[in-house]
Amino acid sequence: MATTTPRFQFTAVNGFFQQDSAPANAALEAVTLPGLGLLDRVYDTDDAFDPRGEKHPWERFAHYLDHLNRSGGGQTVYKLLYAARHGEGYHNVKEAEVGTAEWESHWAKLDGDGTITWADAHLTPRGEAQARAMRTFWADAASTLHLPLPPRHYASPLARCLDTCALAFSGGGGGGPALPEGARFAPVVKELLRERLGVHTCDRRRSRTWIRETHPAFGFEEGFAEQDGLWRPDVRETLAEHAVRVEAFLEDLFGSESAPIVSVTAHSGTILALWEVIGHAEVRVAPGAIVPILIKAEEVRGEE
């Protein structure tokens, strides 16, 4: 996968969400907090935007985010990412059954065990329920808390992420779509959002044709190949290599996407690599959970 000279430097902007800090117990996995854990804090823009103190915290935050981008003059750009981990997959079930050491050394290299299959793992029924719970969360938070729904969606091409994103936003799991008024569900599939590449068959993707046939609402980034040319059976990416991939995703996102709020449906490893790139605390995310993060991109070179 080709690399380019970085255009931006990315930084996590802390002080807005409860999960900006790592939990005291590093073994704990973050869950979706009420209101996504937005802190009810004061903003420089409150006096003009909300002089009577009548606005919801999410309304004030969204206004402040717009203010940050207006003030950046195009050289500094801010985006709020709703980082979602896919719901429970069959690979998660097998790893929990045999333990991580046994999973890593043996089972992860197989397609299945004769009873369940985890190559490009699908969601379990529990994972599907977690994704439907995401849709309920989005709809409720938008109506009661004025939480801004993301108009743009990006997803890993692995089946568990495609299914999670579709159930969480399109209304396929019951109820209407969890989208801003007038928005269309048209997520973009991004290779760069994949889980750590190599060895584990759960991280080997299906063909472009299969994705198009099973998820026709999803579009593809330019150059998305028919077959998986990235996964190798004998070499697994390091965290540092994964972080390079995620940084390339951010470069593309900040360089081409105008929406200040986007959703990203990906994997636990991908989210950890994202934290590595932006200097965020190491917050491990539970299956089916959403963690918000405000990211600042400062331009370090002009467009060529």
3-state secondary structure of 131: helix
Total residue count of the chain as it appears in this document: 304
- Please name the residues in contact with 184: beta carbons below 8 A apart, sequence gap of 6 or more: none
Residues 164, 165, 169, CA angle at the centre, nearest 5°?
120
Cβ atoms of 123 and 165 within 8 Å: the answer is no
Active-site residue 276, yes or no? Answer: no
Active-site residue 86, yes or no? Answer: yes
What is the CB-side half-sphere exposure of residue 38 using CA atoms within 13 A? Answer: 21
What is the CB-side half-sphere exposure of residue 59 using CA atoms within 13 A? Answer: 11
What sign has the CA pseudo-torsion 163, 165, 168, 171? negative
The amino acid sitting at 277 is: V
Residue in 195, 237, 251, 299 annotated catalytic = 195
User: Two tokens at 233?
Assistant: 């059976």
The amino acid sitting at 285 is: V
Residue 111 DSSP one-character state: S
- Could you list the active site residues? 86, 195
